[in-house]
Structures are given as C-alpha cells and as structure tokens.
C-alpha cells in the first residue's frame, strides 16, 4: 500500500479491516505511523520531499515547479521509485522477465523521463532544468474546461441523449431519479477541515494546538431534544458503524444535521468518520475505471449522549 492511507480515507472502515484480516501479507510504504501502517506486516519508510527530486503540479492552479533534493535520504528511507525498482530487480532475479519496471534507476533520472516535447511546449520551457529558475505556468488558450467545444463523448459534442449511459443500464435521456431515502433520522455531513488535507498534516504537533480533538457539531434544538450539553461525549451511529467524540453545539448547522470533519485519525481519539460511510456503488464508475466506484454522498445517522 503506497500513497494511500486506506483506513483513514476510504469508506466503511470496518469492512476494510475485515478484508485486511483475510490477506496473507500487507506491506505499507509511508511517512507516518497511521492506521493503515498499523495493520501492515512490513513497513517500508519512504522519503519526504526534502529528500527527493520530484515535479510539483496542482489541482488548483496551472503552475509547475521542481522540487530539488535538499538532503540525502535519512536512515533506511527510500523513495517510492527506488522501492519499486528494487522490488522489480528482486522479482526478475527469481523469475527473469516477470517485471517490466526499470531496475536500479535513480529517482532523478526517472523524474527527467517524465518530461517530453509536449510538456516543454505547454509550459514554455526548453529543459526541465529551466524550472530551477522558478515555477512556470501552462500556456493555455483558455482556463475554462472544454473551451474548444470538444467534449469527451463518442460524438465529440455535448450530448443530451447518451448512448454510453444507455449501455450502462441508464436511460439515454435525462430522467429524474429520487434521491437516496434516509435510513436514519439525521443527515450526516463530513466536509473537509481547514486544519488538514484529508488525513495529511492534522497529526503534526503544532497543528494539534489548533485542532486538538475531533468534534460533532449539532444545532441547539437537536441538542435539547437529545438532552446533550456542549462538551458532552456523544455516540453517533448508523447501519455501518459507530463513533464516540465530543459534541459542539452551534447555530451554524441545520437542526436535522450532524456535522463531523473528515481526515482525523489516531492521536487522543481513534475517531474516524468513515466508519459511518457505507459503500453504495456509483452508477457509472465502470465506464472510466472498470470498477463500480463508490458514491460517497447521502449518509445518515443517529446521535445520543454516550
């Protein structure tokens, strides 16, 4: 398991734990001792950005920058590339030709191989080394998606009637579908927190000064109905699982809603909001990935004083 804290970020944590128990061997590659690493038989410590060469791009802007290695990898840490390369070499020593991943490749060399003429043209550079002088912005005619009016559909047009949707068991034309029916009394919201990026950063000591524990936020009317006072320990539960945490009473959430931020793991409270999130399949997941995928949307729960 690499680049993924499965037990903090994925749906129905209890179901995943049961699946883990059936595996003969779990190997985790990570920076921190998180819940996923706790389940591993073998842990391979990986490098930080300070110890490796890489290219940085973002979901939120059009800039690309280079991350230069500041220090050599500490202790026994290796980059993901080095780990994969060493594993490839070992597999091929046992069964020649069984793995095609490059052997004994330097992480910096692997990074350089990611560049091509298309990337150089898009960012207006002649070499990856130009990024050492500063980040570069992509040269786009427009930052708006599909500004060229070429859509990713069979016809290349915006389709009001979709043969692909029909092929996957849906109506070709848009048809109203009722939302998921509530299976518990209160709507459960699990938004992102300003103190972490999913399960990253919230485990840092100085971040815990600002965000020391997970909280369940509820409206005063709901609190009064349940006999809950601000600061009480509460139990939030549904058909998927249950969690216990401190409650915070606020007018900022509707009276029929329980709000808990996602991403928390470990520390003083083993709380994980994904214990309450079920694995309802999405409707068109197979079209893009070959697997159903998960519709992590309408969730519901009950709450009571613990």
Looking up residue 132, the CATH number of its domain turns out to be 3.40.50.740
- Shared domain check, 265 and 293: yes
pLDDT of amino acid 268? 67
Going residue by residue through the chain, which has 306 residues, state the pLDDT in tens, using 9 for 90 and above: 999 999 988 889 999 999 999 999 999 999 999 999 999 999 999 999 999 999 998 888 899 999 999 999 999 999 999 999 999 999 999 999 999 999 988 889 989 999 999 999 999 999 999 999 999 999 988 778 888 888 988 899 999 999 888 988 889 998 898 888 898 999 999 999 998 888 888 888 888 888 888 999 999 999 999 999 999 999 999 999 999 999 999 999 999 999 999 988 766 678 899 999 988 888 888 887 888 888 777 899 999 999
Per the structure, the complete domain to which residue 126 belongs is given by 6-137
pLDDT reported for residue 197: 84
Q: What is the pTM of this model?
A: 0.84
Q: Give the pLDDT score at 267.
A: 62
Residue 1 lies in a domain: no
Report if residue 144 sits inside a domain.
no
Answer yes or no: do 56 and 105 share one domain: yes
**Same structural domain for residues 11 and 121?**
yes
| One domain for residues 263 and 169 | no
Best CA proximity match to 66, nearest among 136, 132, 138: 132
Let me know if residue 124 belongs to a domain. Answer: yes
Do 103 and 32 share a structural domain? Answer: yes
DSSP E strands, 20-140: 27-30, 42-45, 54-56, 63-67, 136-137
Please tell me whether residues 130 and 154 are part of one structural domain.
no
pLDDT of residue 196: 86
Whether residues 98 and 204 fall in one domain: no
Residue 285 domain flag? yes
Contact 221, 255 (CB under 8 A): yes
Specify the CATH number for the domain of residue 202: 2.40.40.20
Whether residues 100 and 44 share a domain: the answer is yes
Pair 89, 160 in one domain: no
Q: Can you give the pLDDT at residue 58?
A: 83
* CA quadruple 259, 299, 241, 29: dihedral sign: negative
Q: What are phi and psi of 109, to 5 degrees?
A: -65, -40
290's CB contacts (< 8 A; 6+ apart) are: none
Residues 132 and 237 in one domain: no
Rounded distance between C-alpha atoms, residue 70 and residue 65, angstroms: 15
- Specify whether the CB–CB gap between 236 and 260 falls below 8 A: yes
What's the CA gap between 53 and 90, in Å, rounded?
A: 24
3-state secondary structure of 87: helix
pLDDT of residue 43: 97
142 within domain boundaries: no
Indicate whether 143 belongs to any domain. Answer: no
**For residue 247, what pLDDT is reported?**
98
Domain presence at residue 257: yes
Q: Do 168 and 97 have their domain in common?
A: no
- 77 lies in the same domain as 195: no
Instruction: Report how many domains make up the chain.
Output: 3
d(CA 189, CA 259): 5
Tell whether 222 is covered by a domain: yes
């Amino acid at each position: 398991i690499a680049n993924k804290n499965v037990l903090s970020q994925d749906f129905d944590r209890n179901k995943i734990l049961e699946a883990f128990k059936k595996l003969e061997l779990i190997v985790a590659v990570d920076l921190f001792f998180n819940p996923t690493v706790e389940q591993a038989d073998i842990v391979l410590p990986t490098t930080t950005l300070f110890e490796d060469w890489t290219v940085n791009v973002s979901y939120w802007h059009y800039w690309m920058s280079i991350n230069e290695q500041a220090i050599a990898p500490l202790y026994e840490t290796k980059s993901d590339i080095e780990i994969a390369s060493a594993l490839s070499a070992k597999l091929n020593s046992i069964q020649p030709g069984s793995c095609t991943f490059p052997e004994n490749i330097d992480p910096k060399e692997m990074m350089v191989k990611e560049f091509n003429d298309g990337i150089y043209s898009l960012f207006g550079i002649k070499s990856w080394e130009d990024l050492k002088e500063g980040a570069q912005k992509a040269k786009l005619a427009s930052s708006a998606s599909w500004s060229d009016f070429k859509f990713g559909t069979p016809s290349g047009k915006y389709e009001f009637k979709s043969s692909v949707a029909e092929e996957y068991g849906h109506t070709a034309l848009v048809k109203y579908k009722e939302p998921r029916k509530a299976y518990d009394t209160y709507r459960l919201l699990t938004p992102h927190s300003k103190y972490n990026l999913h399960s990253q950063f919230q485990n840092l000591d100085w971040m815990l000064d600002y965000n020391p524990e997970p909280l369940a936020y509820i409206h005063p009317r709901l609190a009064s109905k349940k006999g809950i006072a601000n600061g009480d320990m509460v139990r939030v539960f549904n058909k998927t699982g249950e969690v216990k945490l401190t409650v915070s009473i606020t007018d900022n959430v509707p009276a029929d809603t329980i709000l808990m931020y996602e991403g928390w793991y470990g520390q003083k409270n083993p709380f994980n909001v994904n214990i309450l999130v079920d694995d309802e399949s999405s409707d068109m997941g197979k079209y893009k990935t070959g697997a159903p995928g998960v519709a992590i949307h309408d969730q519901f729960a009950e709450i009571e004083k613990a």
